[in-house]
Amino acid sequence: MRTLSLTLAAAMAATFAVPGHAQLGGLMKKAKAAAGVDKPAAVAKVESAPVGPVKVKPADRIDGPSLDLFARALTAEKNWLEERARIRTTLKSPEEYRRCSEVALAPTTPEAKKMMQDYLDAMASKDNDGSAEYMTKIAMAMKAQQDRIVQGKCGFDPSLYPPEPGPSALYHPSEHEAAKLVGMDQKRYALLKERITPFCNFDAAARGNGDVRVPGIGTGVYFVYEANEAALLTPRCGQLLAGMKAVS
């Protein structure tokens, strides 16, 4: 499963801990890629975890509305990836696409003639005040026409549909697009992936009730979850893990 860098919470014999997203995310990502697994390595035993309540920063805390939005974002990301994969099966080679584009935009074609006439009409329009804004508007309209003509005759531009980045990549366009589609902050979306994965991969019986500490990589390092977060996540782990696997 592809997840971004996992957020670690350092709970070193303290009474509370906070997810260290910025500092430790890269470390977790490298460790995950090297191990080739999604489940965090439980290098510290549950019984060795510190006791006492945990405290999660408000900005990192998981609540019901954010979980609902997160589930919607997973669906949006899955759909976005599937559509791009479908388009890739239809693409011409770069050279075939280039030749097809040249033919499609040849000046003698009806489409190219109409495009040129539209340009001339716009230039002769009384709305043409000679401003840079107006000329930019004309240029953008002409470019949009060109794109429609080429796509209709040649399909999608293969340069816009490279293979999706791997799990260790620092940037995943699918996450940004999915977050935008559902109105969610992309960093929040990535953070929830990072926090939900270790909790849901941890043995349910070992979680117990109340606050939860999930062993991370390194002695005394834990992912921490307040009791309310654990109560929200537990019944939805199956659905959430399946959703994250679908976009890996």
Tens digit of each residue's pLDDT (9 = 90 or more) over 81-133: 999 999 999 999 999 999 999 999 999 999 999 999 999 999 999 999 999 99
Q: Are residues 129 and 98 in the same domain?
A: yes
Look at residue 68 and tell me whether its pLDDT is greater than 70.
Answer: yes
**Domain membership flag for residue 82:** no
**Domain membership flag for residue 123:** yes
Query: Left, alpha or beta for 65 (phi > 0: left; psi -120 to 50: alpha)?
Result: alpha
Q: What is the pLDDT, as a whole number, of residue 146?
A: 96
Q: Are residues 147 and 191 in the same domain?
A: no
**Domain membership flag for residue 53:** yes
Q: Which of 160, 185, 212 corresponds to the end of one domain?
A: 160
Q: What is the DSSP letter of 220?
A: T
Q: What is the pLDDT, as a whole number, of residue 220?
A: 81
What share of the chain has pLDDT > 70, as a percent?
Answer: 80
pLDDT band at 209 (very low <50, low <70, confident <90, very high): confident
208 by Cβ neighbours in 10 Å (0-12 / 13-18 / 19+) ranks as exposed
**Domain membership flag for residue 224:** yes
Q: What is the pLDDT, as a whole number, of residue 221?
A: 85
Domain total for the chain? 2
Handedness of CA 193, 194, 195, 197 (dihedral sign): positive
Q: Are residues 54 and 171 in the same domain?
A: yes
Q: What is the pLDDT, as a whole number, of residue 183?
A: 97
Q: Are residues 173 and 217 in the same domain?
A: yes
Ranked by mean pLDDT, which of 3-7, 19-23, 157-161, 202-206 comes out on top?
A: 157-161
Q: Which of 127, 160, 193 corresponds to the end of one domain?
A: 160
Beta bridge partners of 215: 222
Lowest mean pLDDT: which of 47-51, 189-193, 214-218, 234-238?
47-51
pTM of the model: 0.71
70 by Cβ neighbours in 10 Å (0-12 / 13-18 / 19+) ranks as buried
Phi/psi at 221 (nearest 5 deg)? -110, 130
Q: Are residues 57 and 177 in the same domain?
A: yes
| pLDDT, greater one: 90 or 39 | 90
**Domain membership flag for residue 214:** yes
Q: Are residues 116 and 239 in the same domain?
A: no
Q: What's the rounded Cα separation, in Å, for the pair 240 and 118?
A: 51
**Domain membership flag for residue 46:** yes
Lowest mean pLDDT: which of 30-39, 178-187, 218-227?
30-39
Mean pLDDT of 54-64: 93
Supply the range of the domain harboring residue 108. Answer: 92-160
In tens, the pLDDT along 160-176 reads 999 999 988 999 999 99
pLDDT band at 49 (very low <50, low <70, confident <90, very high): low
Look at residue 43 and tell me whether its pLDDT is greater than 60.
Answer: no
Q: What is the pLDDT, as a whole number, of residue 232?
A: 96
- Cβ–Cβ under 8 Å, residues 247 and 2: yes
What are the start-end ranges of the H helices in the chain?
21-35, 64-88, 94-104, 110-124, 132-154, 173-182, 186-201, 204-207, 227-233, 237-246
Q: Are residues 20 and 42 in the same domain?
A: yes
Q: What's the rounded Cα separation, in Å, for the pair 23 and 243?
A: 27
Give residues with Cβ within 8 angstroms of 152, minimum separation 6: 104
